[in-house]
Amino acid sequence: MEQLVQKQFTIRAFKAEDNHDLCDKFIEGHKRVLLSVGVEEVSSSSNSWKFEPNVYVIICESNDGEKVYGGVRVHVYNDQHVLPMVEATEEFDPTVADHIKNFSPLGTGEMCGLWNSIEVAGMGIGAVYLIRSAIAILTELNLKTLWALCSPFSARIAKNYSFLKYPHVGNDGTFYYPKIDLLATVCMVDDSEKLKNGNPEEVKRIFDLRRNPNTEKEEKNRGRDLKINYQLGINL
């Protein structure tokens, strides 16, 4: 395994259709992570999203732009494109699409495709900084609500960012996905502006990123010091 020595990263957000080269790096990195846990394909790993105008990508990369270490996507709901979560669950519960549509007047979407490479495991790239960034850009995208299909581990982490289990679909909000021995929980942020259900310290950091979307910060997570150059202002 490659030894990662750098502790400086750039996390930036962009519209998928504006940078297909970076989308391809995202896709390749995500695929490697899925294969490492025995998953060959999931609905959110399809390549078609990079051509859709309603998809926004956040990546963590080296400061020179040569390497991508992780990423996450936010799909904005519209009538033309089905959210990945619907594709993943419709055969188990066809009402999921209707539940999502009910929140569309408020502005809704889905956070999906979260991954980080093994090289940055334990540094908080996926579990902290990419999720934090995804929640930070919701007000830019005029999304008051946000959905996510979470593993048991990520569902616990997601509570910090105001995600709560949505129990009205599946089996009390859960499905076996992406394979029969893996459990996924449907979670939702119901008020992206206030994030009232989130961890207060995390919410404070998100609000700071909203005020200063393009900024450099000294970050610390589980004893690891990082310097992150956030570039979250999106060309809409």
Model confidence at 100: pLDDT above 80:
yes
Domain boundaries, the chain: 8-231
Q: What is the number of other CB atoms lying within 10 angstroms of the CB of residue 135?
A: 28
Model confidence at 200: pLDDT above 80:
yes
Model confidence at 144: pLDDT above 60:
yes
pLDDT, tens only, 165-196: 999 999 999 988 777 777 899 999 999 999 99
**Confidence band of 5 (pLDDT split at 50, 70, 90):** low
> Could you give the CA distance from residue 49 to residue 37 in angstroms, rounded to a whole number?
23
Model confidence at 47: pLDDT above 60:
yes
Return mean pLDDT, the chain.
91
Q: What percent of the chain clears pLDDT 70, i.e. is strictly above it? A: 93
Model confidence at 120: pLDDT above 80:
yes
8 A C-beta contact, residue 50 and residue 22: no
Model confidence at 202: pLDDT above 60:
yes
> Could you give the CA distance from residue 101 to residue 215 in angstroms, rounded to a whole number?
35
CATH of domain 8-231: 3.40.630.30
